[in-house]
Amino acid sequence: MKRKARHPLVLALAVVAGLAFGTQVLAQTDPLPSWNEGAAKQAIVKFVEATTAQGSPKFVPPAERIATFDQDGTLWVEHPMCSQIVYCFDRVPAVVKAKPELAIFPFEP
């Protein structure tokens, strides 16, 4: 069964990976300075605090911390349609060459 990643959870995992210094960093500085104060930011910070504090029942050892990134600009551009179109323009000539019946216009390599 596939599970759909939830955006706040993906961000939380990214923060966990970036905060290798533990909860003392959280106490000294704002870990998400570009974020507006609100429920999402508070939830992420609490999650990171709970999973990085040794002795916490939710503690996750550093070797077991995994971060995934999905459509947030780290692995793909912010507007994926542009990349998809460029990919199609790159692939269409090769596909048409392999299957000339797909050509709308005559194709000459």
Same domain for 43 and 68, yes or no, is yes
pLDDT exceeds cutoff 70 at 8:
no
Same domain for 70 and 83, yes or no, is no
pTM over 0.75: no
Burial category of 58 from C-beta neighbours within 10 Å (exposed 0-12, middle 13-18, buried 19 and up): exposed
Same domain for 34 and 59, yes or no, is yes
Same domain for 93 and 67, yes or no, is no
pLDDT exceeds cutoff 70 at 52:
yes
Length of the chain: 109
Same domain for 67 and 90, yes or no, is no
What is the domain count for the chain?
2
| Full domain range(s) for residue 101 | 78-109
Two structure tokens written together for 86: 């460029």
